[in-house]
Structure 1
Amino acid sequence: MKKIIFTFMLGVGFLTSQSQEWKVPLYDRVPAFTVQDKEGNSIAIESLRGKVVLLTFFATWCPSCREELPHIQKDIWDRWKTRDDFTVMVLAREEGWDKLDPFMKNTGYTFPIYPDLERKVFSLFGDSYIPRNVLIDKEGKIIYRSIGYTEKEFSELVKRIETELEKK
């Protein structure tokens, strides 16, 4: 039986990772995609093979996202940003640099952020619900995923990152 927990707030909900809200099954290879950074450089997910990668999908208007992002900064990015075998890709669903630049300046966040204006990357993983996290191992397989933000779920994400980074 699938377990689904909803806590709706402005159309944003929390669903357990066992829900039907995922297009890519757990332990499958991450779908191919490319994003562009602020300078216009293309970054293909395949180029990050050999690293543990956290994908975080959010929107600047999303209350749950705004609750989670400080933890992404403090508990994940600040902790592991100097490691060669780890990175974060924070993707803004339907938002461009016009919104992201002031948002990053006002919040002081320093993690890597990328616009996903037309949901091209987001739509590979799901159709709705943010924040959404996808953890990818060094071989390019999805090893953890979550939708929504709770302290318990976020703590589990941090533990999974720790475990992956301890592997040789």
Structure 2
Amino acid sequence: MDLLGIHIPATSPVFLSFLTVHVLAGMTAVVVGAGAALVRHKGRGLHTRFGGMYFGSICVVFATATAMAAMRPREDYHLFLIGAVAFAAALTGRTARRRHWSGDMAHIVGMGGSYVAMLTAFYVDNGPQLPLWDRLPTLAYWLLPAAVGAPLTWRAVRRAQRLRGPATASDRGPQAA
């Protein structure tokens, strides 16, 4: 079945229900994740609200990806694995903030890595059907999100370090004896 030029891999009403929720949660995660990253002030307020909505959206994306992969394991197991990485990275980023881990690196890298994994899954699954992306080799779907996201995440880490001031010994981790 095709919908707006996108191939829908199954027509089962249960699969389509999960897919609908998955797509809506994925679109929400893209928008609020970008919003959380782009908000200038990273303290409580808009950044925290967007971050909470992003985490909730990623939870739904992972849950629905898990259900769809269970229905079509041979076709979707790789998407389940990428979803697990996105969820685990977001959980790490959220835990780092909630448990007040020293520094900002775990939070930024966790959330940034989650966003990159989510986009990777999208392009791996849909790239061959998207204008311009359909001209790229398959490897590009796997690598381009990280090629763009990794430098942006690193930049965010460096900015947070500059704003925080000089690192303390505990920020650098265990010291060699």
- What TM-score, normalized by structure 1, do the two folds share? 0.31
Q: Tell me which protein shows more strand as a share of its residues.
A: 1
- What TM-score, normalized by structure 2, do the two folds share? 0.30
Structure with more contact order per residue of length (Cα contacts < 8 Å, sep ≥ 6)? 1
Larger Rg: 2
